[in-house]
């Protein structure tokens, strides 16, 4: 069931009605979440349950062991050097169980083919091809998201940043909460678990906000993202048939497509959660209007960005060990972030390009070589970031590194081609950026709760009409493949 399908909205309507009528709301949401996930591939429910049981048990055991140097549950502080060392070994062993248990499954389903191909290319396996070694596996939907979500919980308990969850039902809901299960936003236990105990039915304002977010998210996906996909898919399928200018416009279109597609899902996830009385974090903060790579990183896929910051970048040393080490950490984090998206060197290239941009920006900023703040720097930053992000997404979308560089060469040399893109797409892109800017300038989110019923009815009618006439391609959400 996809968020843009009739089946899902029928399913959600039933869940919403039962959620209001029945007293055991937590159990209902757990069952609904598992039913939602089973609609894709029922056997993979076992993997979801496996991750939940593993990290629930590991966290409970970690919680029973005091953090070295911190007062334990019995009021005593571990002081003996041998006791501290033994305690740390136990805690690290438990953390390793979670890391290996979760990442091992993720690597098997998502990266085993990629690893075999590269080992064969390096001659490490003594065979000419990995075809005879590869096991045909189907990637479980959302495994990258819920694996990182449960890992963040275990790591937080290990660090002593949060306490283990005692209720297994609460933890099941935290892992499997269906509005965000497939593609985020990635939840943190410290933010979500307390909501379960104090969950209340949403008031009128929350309902209106939820309806607004669901409609806006659907519009982003069905009308804008799928509309762009009709052009992008055609160009990227046969890039050699298009001119350099057409490829450049297509890269802008794809940048907007993937934003509207993913932001549309995330926006609906926030809206669906609000209709059920829960708050999940927003995942986007106007990244198309970023004027520098730091703004972009803070505005794009926020929950995943903060995950890599807290559990990857900071443990590497972050920006605390000098300029060159910071540059290395930034590059490594961005490349890991790219590889998280998929088992392909194209994603690593995309991450490396973004990492290089961030390193270069920090280098220039620290030396005062950037434009001083003002209108000129804002316009230049907005235009240059839009161009760079659009070009970098070619690596994200291309089927291979060679194909990506072939497209870059056609754009750089401005080659002619038998096919071009209609100038209408320039106008479409301009309108999208203008609406994006107006939304940020006037903070339109939540407007449905601030206006009267005539305006509410008009907005809902307009959105439903647009959705019914939308040029949807019928493709699944782009981030479902990750």
pLDDT at residue 427, as a whole number: 78
**Stretch 445-461: mean pLDDT, rounded?**
88
**Which tokens go with 56?**
């629930």
When pLDDT is cut at 50, 70 and 90, the band that residue 412 belongs to is very high
Query: 242 - beta bridge partners?
Result: 419
214-237 residues labelled b (16+ CB within 10 A) or e (exposed)? bbbbbbbbbbbbbbbbebbeebbe
Place of tokens 């062993």: 93
3-state secondary structure the chain: CCCCCHHHHHHHHHHHHHHHHCCCHHHHHHHHHHHHHHCCCHHHHHHHHHHHHHHHHHHHHHHHCCCCCCCCCCCCCCCCHHHHHHHHHHHHHHHHHHHHHHHHHHHHHHCHHHHHHHHHHCCCCCCCCCCCCCCCCCCCCCHHHHHHHHHHHHHHHHHCCCCCCCCHHHHHHHHHCCCCCCCCCCCCHHHHHHHHHCCCCCCHHHHHHHHHHHHHHHHHHHHHHHHHHHHHHHHHHCHHHECHHHHHHHHHHHHHHHHHHHHHHHHHHHHHHHHCCCCCCCCCCCHHHCCCHHHHHHHCCHHHHHHHHHHHHHHHCCCCCCHHHHHHHHHHHHHHHHHHHCCCHHHHHHHHHHHHHHHHHHHHHHCCCCCCCCHHHHHHHHHHHHHHHHHHHHHHHCCCHHHHHHHHHHHHCCCCCCECCCCHHHHHHHHHHHHHHHHHHHCCCCHHHHCCHHHHHHHHHHHHHHHHHCCCCCCCCHHHHC
Residues sharing a CB contact under 8 Å with residue 215, sequence separation 6 or more, in sequence order: 459, 460, 463, 464, 467
Listed residue (209, 348, 215) closest to 276, CA to CA: 209
Give tens-digit pLDDT for 292-318. 999 999 999 999 999 999 999 999 999
How many residues are present in the chain? 482
User: What percent of the chain stands above pLDDT 90?
Assistant: 62
CA–CA gap between residue 153 and residue 165 (Å, rounded): 10
- Least-confidence region, from 152-166, 365-379, 404-418: 365-379
Give tens-digit pLDDT for 12-26. 999 999 999 988 899
Average pLDDT over the chain, rounded to an integer: 89
pLDDT at residue 482, as a whole number: 73
- Contact assessment for residue 360 and residue 376, using Cβ atoms and an 8 Å cutoff: no
Listed residue (218, 203, 272) closest to 16, CA to CA: 272
pLDDT at residue 245, as a whole number: 86
Residues sharing a CB contact under 8 Å with residue 163, sequence separation 6 or more, in sequence order: 63, 157
CA–CA gap between residue 139 and residue 135 (Å, rounded): 12
Q: How many CB atoms lie within 10 A of CB 178?
A: 25
CA–CA gap between residue 194 and residue 214 (Å, rounded): 24
Q: Which residues are catalytic?
A: 341
**Which tokens go with 23?**
């007293």
Residues sharing a CB contact under 8 Å with residue 197, sequence separation 6 or more, in sequence order: 170
CA–CA gap between residue 146 and residue 95 (Å, rounded): 17
**Which tokens go with 122?**
């390096």
Residues sharing a CB contact under 8 Å with residue 371, sequence separation 6 or more, in sequence order: 377, 380, 381
pLDDT at residue 474, as a whole number: 66
Give tens-digit pLDDT for 29-57. 999 999 999 998 899 999 999 999 999 99
Evaluate if residue 72 carries a pLDDT over 50: no
Evaluate if residue 124 carries a pLDDT over 80: no
**Stretch 82-95: mean pLDDT, rounded?**
90
CA–CA gap between residue 353 and residue 104 (Å, rounded): 28
Give tens-digit pLDDT for 182-229. 987 999 999 999 999 887 889 999 999 999 999 999 999 998 898 888
CA–CA gap between residue 479 and residue 283 (Å, rounded): 13
**Stretch 353-360: mean pLDDT, rounded?**
96
């Amino acid at each position: 069931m996809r968020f843009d399908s009739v089946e899902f909205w029928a399913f959600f309507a039933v869940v919403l009605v039962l959620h209001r009528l029945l007293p055991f709301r937590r159990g209902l949401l757990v069952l609904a979440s598992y039913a939602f996930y089973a609609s894709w591939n029922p056997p993979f429910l076992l993997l979801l349950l496996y991750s939940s049981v593993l990290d629930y048990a590991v966290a409970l055991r970690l919680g029973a062991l005091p953090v070295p140097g911190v007062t334990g549950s019995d009021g005593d502080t571990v002081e003996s050097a041998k006791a501290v060392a033994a305690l740390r070994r136990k805690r690290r062993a438990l953390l390793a169980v979670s890391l290996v248990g979760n990442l091992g499954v993720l690597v098997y389903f998502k990266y085993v083919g990629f690893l075999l191909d590269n080992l064969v290319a390096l001659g490490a396996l003594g065979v000419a091809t990995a075809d005879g070694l590869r096991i045909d596996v189907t990637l479980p939907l959302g495994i990258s998201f819920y694996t990182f979500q449960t890992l963040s919980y275990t790591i937080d308990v290990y660090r002593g940043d949060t306490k283990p969850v005692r209720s297994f039902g609460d933890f099941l809901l935290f892992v499997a909460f269906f509005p965000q299960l497939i593609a985020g936003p990635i939840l943190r236990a410290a933010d979500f678990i307390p909501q379960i105990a104090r969950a209340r039915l949403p008031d009128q304002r929350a309902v209106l906000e939820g309806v607004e977010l669901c409609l806006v998210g659907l519009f982003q996906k069905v009308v804008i993202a799928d509309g762009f996909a009709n052009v992008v898919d055609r160009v990227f399928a046969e890039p050699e048939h298009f001119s350099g200018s057409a490829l450049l416009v297509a890269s802008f279109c794809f940048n907007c497509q993937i934003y509207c597609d993913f932001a549309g899902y995330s926006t609906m996830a926030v809206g669906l959660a609000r209709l059920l009385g829960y708050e999940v974090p927003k995942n986007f903060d106007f990244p198309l209007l970023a004027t520098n790579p730091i703004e972009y990183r803070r505005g794009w896929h926020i929950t995943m960005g903060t995950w890599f910051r807290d559990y990857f970048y900071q443990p590497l040393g972050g920006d605390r060990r000098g300029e060159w080490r910071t540059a290395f950490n930034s590059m490594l984090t961005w490349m890991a972030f790219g590889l998280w998206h998929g088992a392909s060197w194209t994603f690593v290239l995309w991450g490396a390009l973004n990492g290089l941009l961030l390193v270069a920006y920090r280098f220039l900023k620290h030396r005062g070589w950037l434009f001083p703040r003002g209108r000129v720097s804002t316009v230049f930053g907005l235009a240059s970031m839009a161009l760079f992000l659009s070009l970098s997404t070619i690596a994200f979308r291309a089927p291979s590194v060679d194909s990506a560089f072939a497209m870059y060469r056609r754009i750089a040399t401005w080659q002619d081609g038998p096919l071009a893109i209609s100038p209408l797409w320039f106008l479409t892109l301009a309108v999208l950026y203008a609406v994006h800017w107006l939304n940020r300038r006037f903070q339109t989110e939540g407007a449905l709760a601030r206006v009267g019923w005539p305006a509410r009815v008009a907005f809902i009618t307009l959105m439903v009409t647009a959705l019914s006439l939308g040029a949807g391609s019928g493709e699944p959400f782009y981030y479902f493949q990750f």
